[in-house]
Amino acid sequence: DGGITQSPKYLFRKEGQNVTLSCEQNLNHDAMYWYRQDPGQGLRLIYYSQIVNDFQKGDIAEGYSVSREKKESFPLTVTSAQKNPTAFYLCASRKERGLSTDTQYFGPGTRLTVL
């Protein structure tokens, strides 16, 4: 998992509640990403941040929010507006924000289940 930690590993939420997933990296990477993984589907990008205090929507940002106040941290909030939040959430980071041929590394993931 290369210095990227996600917590908690499992998370249960009641409908209508917001919940925040943690992602921390000690790799001194500039860019960080949040993906959602559903069975039988490829990873889908929720949000990404190329630099502190800046982030962009990915392909499925509705119902999610993020912040990037520190280089090491990129928390994801799953809001009650997200209609189908049960999924496996993956955080990733990459060293150079402007270099296209730079590898992206993943954290261990958080499994969110809405009860």
Partner 1 sequence: GESVGLHLPTLSVQEGDNSIINCAYSNSASDYFIWYKQESGKGPQFIIDIRSNMDKRQGQRVTVLLNKTVKHLSLQIAATQPGDSAVYFCAENFQGGSNYKLTFGKGTLLTVNP
Among 90, 93, 112, 114, binds partner 1 (CB under 8 A): 90
Q: How far apart (Å, rounded) are the C-alpha atoms in residues 40 and 15? A: 24
The yes or no reply on residue 95 touching partner 1 (CB under 8 A) is: no
Instruction: Scan residues 28-57 and list those touching partner 1 (CB under 8 A).
Output: 31, 37, 39-43, 45, 48, 50, 56
# binding residues, partner 1 (CB under 8 A): 33
| Least spacing, CB of residue 65 vs partner 1, in Å | 19
The yes or no reply on residue 106 touching partner 1 (CB under 8 A) is: yes
The answer to whether the beta carbons of residues 49 and 32 sit under 8 Å apart is: yes
The yes or no reply on residue 105 touching partner 1 (CB under 8 A) is: yes
Task: Compare residues 1 and 62 and give the one whose CB is closer to partner 1.
Answer: 1
Tell me the DSSP string of the chain: -TTEEEE-SEEEE-TT--EEEEEEE-S--SEEEEEEE-TTS--EEEEEEEETTEEEE-TT-TTEEE--SBTTB--EEE-TT-S---EEEEEEEES-TT-TT--EEE---EEEEE-
The yes or no reply on residue 85 touching partner 1 (CB under 8 A) is: no
Q: Which chain residues interact with partner 1 by CB under 8 A?
A: 1-2, 4, 6, 31, 37, 39-43, 45, 48, 50, 56, 58, 88, 90, 94, 97-109, 111
